[in-house]
Structure 1
């Protein structure tokens, strides 16, 4: 437990990695929970995930919560390793169930019916692993908590 909370409060690279990861994940969660960015909102997303995608209700709920609140936690640097782990597991599930067969490239223009490949997810996993290893870093709530604990 102590390792989960320990961080270097001056690590700027951890800051960059967690902010980048949070910014990239946030629109996915906002689409699913709030209907922003052309999404279907909570009810529409739950209907799709539990109906068409066949996920159990609790897993569909976790997908929405991890993508929305996990992104906010990453941006703020709060419970950073837990959020990064949630994002990593969530998108591993996405890759295994949906994108593994699509090859490497995103295929948006060259082969639009082939599906999205793995290149985006490789970058996402790389950032998530960096954040999982380094923690929140500079300008994170985790760092502020660590300083308070150290002083108190």
Structure 2
């Protein structure tokens, strides 16, 4: 039974589409991950991100730590195509949480024209990521994924 469940989770075709989706999401999220974890690219680092998530966003410390772990781990999983469906669920859940806790109150649109105060973005980008995660949940990792190699 366990092997059947794992085989189903890892099953995927050889399509280029999931690869493109994985690399796009991972490529966009990766700079955010290194900002949050290491303070690279003018990021806050782990302590600064925890401070923001607990003090500004008002999340409990364990939820903030879990969100950072999901974003960082999920990004690596998507880029490698390992556990793609699980990573897509995690990243998708994270982005739903971002809409509910932070961005939903700012409206739909990103702050393209600087009308909102700095850092107050809408949730249009988050919906795009959710759509991409849903597609990956359906298709799996596709071409050049570790899922494909592990399932064979």
Q: TM-score, normalised by structure 1?
A: 0.88
Q: Which runs of 4+ in 1 moved over 3 A?
A: none
Structure 2 Cα separation of the partners of residues 105 and 50 of structure 1: 25
Match for residue 69 of structure 2? Answer: 65
Cα distance in 1, alignment partners of residues 9 and 75 from structure 2:
18
Distance of 1:91 and 1:28 partners within structure 2: 14
**Structure 1 stretches lacking a partner, 5+ long:** 148-152
1:110 Cα deviation from its structure 2 partner: 4.5
Q: Which residue of 2 aligns with 1:131?
A: 136
Between 52-61 and 110-119, report the one with greater CA deviation: 110-119
Distance 2:87 2:50 in 1: 21
Contact 2:54–2:61 (CA<8 Å) still a contact in 1? Answer: yes
SS of 2:62 mapped into structure 1: helix
- Normalised by the length of structure 2, the TM-score is 0.88
Verify: 1:77 aligned to 2:90, yes or no: no
Matches within 5 A, 1:2-151: 2-8=7-13, 10-113=14-117, 115-147=120-152
Shift of 1:95: 0.6
Please provide the CA RMSD for this pair.
1.5
Give 1:108 shift.
3.5
Deviation at 1:86, TM superposition (A): 0.6
